[in-house]
């Protein structure tokens, strides 16, 4: 289980997280929604330790995420970055097998390559992309490679940062379905941040709405449409009028 | 303006400069300690050796040969004013080995390597590749910084040595072909005049300049701002800082080696 307990984070005068509290049960898929610049990415990166909160605690399986063996902690996670964040200088298969080629999870090169190709197949890519460089792939293919890299070491927890941003609706649907299938198949705990409502309905077990640095509403995805929460209602229906200022 | 306000601004500027020095010093110390602490990334190191050492050879060679040739012409013309044309071999040798070789190679490395390291790492930062490294349990200081700094520490002295030899060869070619010097006498004068201390100082300067150039590239890359402008600013600042620090370090090292 992942638990954020009154997490605060500011960048200068910009108070992004103002006491964010959230719990994600093991084996469930939580989607955090909210407008641009509301701190969704900051919350996600705080869990991974990429950003250090100013105050508050983050627990993973009851243990303080800021303490203990960092390598062992990170080995439990996989992450799909918004832009893919693939390493330009490495061919696709080495991107996917990055963790398997070095460090505590190191395998022989042939075995790592085999696993990479299997993961590429799992996300719908043929083995002939394995030796290409990331720059030679389309945006959708890069996202799939990023997804393959996120699941390569079979992590217990997977984070997805804006998984469908920049993709056409069909490719977004493909990526959403893949994420759902993989999360269910692996039994992983998933945390996704997005403002794409089709992703929310496809991926989420539970939804949390982040606004003004706090969770405004959280609950099962099935309850989202009848929540009665004015912030959530405005967001999911994309209305300019409501408690959320359209120009922030 | 209120004198106190002027003082406050001045103080703030001095403090911010000192803070940058402090951050760079901590970064440099961190980078150097990561070189000796496992895990090691031999493939990244080999790639850095190739990029910093081998691929810098053409620009180093061309810079040195033209500088050596020009130096011979200048010394000949300047020496003629007081009948001292014969000192061309000695002055070219001492000028190239003690000063021009290390400084010019250092500045070429700042232009070629520091800029490329800063731009590459800054782009990785902007595109979240450095965050991705962390999530893949790989320390960016070990994977990106340590191999580059070690490669620069080892290859820049070699480049300086090669630059010294090519520079002397440039002076020799001009002196023998254009200025009427005897080939064997020129070489003998060069060898006789150079001391071990000259060569050691040249190589030590090379090592110091290599560390400065690589650390500045890595530091500004890792601390880049957002977007294309952030990458551009990081690249520009890294080259400026590396060039100024190389010249300052050259002054200090020259003092250490030759004013005793």
The packing angle between helices A109-122 and A139-151, to 10°, is: 120
If you measure CA to CA, which chain A residue comes closest to B128?
A85
Q: Which of B47, B129, B137 sits opposite A103 (nearest CB)?
A: B137
Is the pTM above the cut of 0.95? no
Which pLDDT belongs to residue B119? Answer: 97
Residue A6 lies in a domain: yes
Which pLDDT belongs to residue A245? Answer: 76
A87 in contact with B at a CB cutoff of 8 Å?
A: yes
- Strand, coil or helix: what is B45? helix
Residue A246 lies in a domain: no
Q: Which residues of B touch A106 (CB under 8 A)?
A: none
CB atoms < 10 A from the CB of B216, how many? 29
Q: Quickly list H helices, chain A.
A: 40-48, 70-74, 92-96, 109-122, 139-151, 169-186, 197-203, 230-237
Q: How many domains does chain A have?
A: 1
B76: number of CA atoms within 13 Å, CB side?
16
Nearest Cα of chain A lies from the Cα of B98 at a distance, in angstroms, of: 38
Those residues with Cβ within 8 angstroms of residue B197's Cβ, 6 or more apart along the chain or in another chain: B257, B258
Contact B129 A86 (CB under 8 A): yes
If you measure CA to CA, which chain A residue comes closest to B126?
A85
Query: Each residue's pLDDT tens digit in chain B (260 positions)?
Result: 788 999 999 999 999 999 999 999 999 999 999 999 988 999 999 999 999 999 999 999 999 999 999 999 999 999 989 988 899 999 999 999 999 999 999 999 999 999 999 999 999 999 999 999 999 999 999 999 999 999 999 999 999 999 999 999 999 999 999 999 999 999 999 999 999 999 999 999 999 999 999 999 999 999 999 999 999 999 999 999 999 999 999 999 999 998 86
Which pLDDT belongs to residue B260? Answer: 60
A108 in contact with B at a CB cutoff of 8 Å?
A: no
Those residues with Cβ within 8 angstroms of residue A21's Cβ, 6 or more apart along the chain or in another chain: A4, A5, A6, A7, A214, A215
> CA dist A92 to A38, A163, B33, B139, Å?
33, 19, 32, 21
Which pLDDT belongs to residue A247? Answer: 57
Q: Which residues of A touch B132 (CB under 8 A)?
A: 79, 81, 85-87
Contact A81 B128 (CB under 8 A): yes
> CA dist B179 to A24, A39, A203, B82, B192, Å?
82, 72, 80, 17, 21
How far is B62 from B147, CA to CA, in rounded Å? 27
User: What are φ and ψ of residue B137, in 5° steps?
Assistant: 60, 35
Report the CATH number at residue A66. Answer: 3.40.50.300
Contact A208, A22 (CB under 8 A): yes
Contact A50, B131 (CB under 8 A): yes
How far is B140 from B129, CA to CA, in rounded Å? 10
Q: Which residues of B touch A89 (CB under 8 A)?
A: 47
Nearest Cα of chain B lies from the Cα of A164 at a distance, in angstroms, of: 16
A143 in contact with B at a CB cutoff of 8 Å?
A: no
- Strand, coil or helix: what is B84? coil
A50 in contact with B at a CB cutoff of 8 Å?
A: yes
Residue A24 lies in a domain: yes
Contact A45, A16 (CB under 8 A): no
How far is B118 from B124, CA to CA, in rounded Å? 10
What is the residue range of A103's domain?
A: 2-237
Contact B128 A83 (CB under 8 A): yes
Residue A113 lies in a domain: yes
How far is A165 from A173, CA to CA, in rounded Å? 12
How far is A6 from A58, CA to CA, in rounded Å? 9
E strand or H helix that includes residue A64: strand A63-64
Residue A79 lies in a domain: yes
DSSP single-letter state for residue A134:
G
Report chain A (248 residues): mean pLDDT per 10 consecutive residues: 94 92 94 89 92 94 89 90 92 95 87 94 90 92 92 92 87 87 90 91 94 93 90 88 73
List, for residues A97-128, the tens digit of each pLDDT value: 999 998 778 899 999 999 999 999 988 899 99
Residue A7 lies in a domain: yes
């Amino acid at each position: 289980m992942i638990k954020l307990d009154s997490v605060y984070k500011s960048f200068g005068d910009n108070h992004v997280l103002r006491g964010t509290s959230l719990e994600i049960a093991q084996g469930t898929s939580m989607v955090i929604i909210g407008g641009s610049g509301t701190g969704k990415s900051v919350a996600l990166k705080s869990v991974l330790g990429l950003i250090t909160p100013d105050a508050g605690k983050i627990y993973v399986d009851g243990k303080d995420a800021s303490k203990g063996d960092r390598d062992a902690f990170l080995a439990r996670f996989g992450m799909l970055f918004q832009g893919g964040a693939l390493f330009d200088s490495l061919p696709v298969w080495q991107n996917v097998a990055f963790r398997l080629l070095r460090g505590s999870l190191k395998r022989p090169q042939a075995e790592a390559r085999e696993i990479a190709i299997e993961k590429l197949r799992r996300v719908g890519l043929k083995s002939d992309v394995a030796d290409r460089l990331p720059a030679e792939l389309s945006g959708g293919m890069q996202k799939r490679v990023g997804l393959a890299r996120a699941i390569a070491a079979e992590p217990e927890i997977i984070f997805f940062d804006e998984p469908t941003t920049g993709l056409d609706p069909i490719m977004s649907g493909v990526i959403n379905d893949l994420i759902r299938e993989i999360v269910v198949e692996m039994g992983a705990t998933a945390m996704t941040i997005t403002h794409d409502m089709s992703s929310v309905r496809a991926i989420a077990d539970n939804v949390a709405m982040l606004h003004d640095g706090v969770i405004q509403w959280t609950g099962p995805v099935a309850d989202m449409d009848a929540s009665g929460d004015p912030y959530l209602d405005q967001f999911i229906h994309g209305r300019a009028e409501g408690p959320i200022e359209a120009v922030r | 303006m209120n004198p106190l306000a002027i003082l406050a601004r001045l103080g703030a500027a001095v403090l911010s400069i000192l803070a940058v020095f402090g951050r760079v010093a901590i970064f440099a110390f961190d980078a150097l300690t990561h070189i000796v602490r496992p895990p090691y990334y031999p493939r990244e190191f080999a790639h850095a050796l190739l990029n910093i050492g081998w691929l810098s050879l053409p620009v180093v060679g061309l810079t040195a040969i033209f500088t050596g040739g020009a130096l011979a012409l200048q010394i000949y013309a300047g020496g003629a004013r007081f009948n001292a044309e014969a000192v061309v071999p000695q002055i070219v040798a001492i000028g190239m080995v003690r000063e021009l070789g290390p400084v010019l190679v250092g500045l070429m490395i700042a232009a070629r390597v520091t800029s490329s390291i800063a731009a590459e790492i800054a782009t990785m930062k902007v595109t979240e590749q450095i965050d991705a490294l962390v999530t893949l349990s790989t320390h960016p200081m070990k994977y990106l910084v340590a191999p580059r700094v070690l490669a620069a520490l080892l290859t820049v002295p070699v480049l300086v040595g090669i630059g010294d030899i090519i520079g002397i060869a440039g002076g020799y070619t001009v002196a023998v072909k254009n200025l009427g010097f005897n080939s064997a006498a020129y070489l003998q004068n060069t060898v006789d005049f150079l001391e071990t201390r000259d060569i050691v100082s040249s190589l030590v300067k090379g090592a110091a300049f290599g560390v400065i150039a690589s650390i500045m590239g890595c530091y500004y890359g890792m601390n880049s701002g957002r977007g294309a402008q952030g990458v551009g600013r990081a690249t520009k600042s890294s080259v400026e800082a590396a060039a100024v620090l190389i010249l300052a370090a050259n002054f200090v090292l020259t003092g250490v080696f030759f004013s005793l």
